[in-house]
Structure 1
Amino acid sequence: MKWNLRLAAANRGIWKASELQRMLAEHGLVISAGKMSGLWSGEPASIKLSDLDVIVAVLGCGIQEILIPEPVTSGVAEKPSVPVARVAGESGSPAAPPVPRRRDGRSLPPL
């Protein structure tokens, strides 16, 4: 979903976050300046549905104007092909011993 509060407000002639904040307070939704800044300029991490109801009522718009669906991407990068070690006895070659690796990317000390 794409958060589109600023454009929805601009379509109604509201150009400042403080103006919308005042209008929301008149309808019983008191929002701090910090939270209002996050709602106005970015994508909020979370928002209460009851708060969203008040915002929609104050702007006189539908929820679809504030929350716009975007195409879903899997977010999972393709895994590079990793050679699989052969099991002893398979094709006559013994399996290579596992090589320990650090998780933080640093090299292991010399032996």
Structure 2
Amino acid sequence: MKRQSKFIFIVITVMLLLVATNIILFRQYIRNIEDDAATLNSLGIIRGSIQRFSKLELYGADNEKIRIDINSRIDIHRKVPFIDRVAEKWAELESVALNYRADPLR
């Protein structure tokens, strides 16, 4: 009887360790998904801000705050893959906007 209770204790201990490990791994997985969702949301804000910047630029409205916000959001996400391409295209759009401000009829 003692041998059987020792075996049951070991089995229960192993099962509890497996359950605890599963819980820890699941929480880590959820945290990673939340980080990815936050990154996607912020990148969507960058996209929408660039559209708004372009529209306000064409209307001649003040868009300096949006430009600063876009630059800061791009800087925050420098570790995101392909953000360098977004930053490069954003720099091109900024230079086009400055040229447009200087001479809108050109």
- Smaller-chain TM-score range? under 0.3
Q: TM-score with structure 1 length normalisation?
A: 0.26
Structure with greater proportional helix content = 2
Q: TM-score with structure 2 length normalisation?
A: 0.27
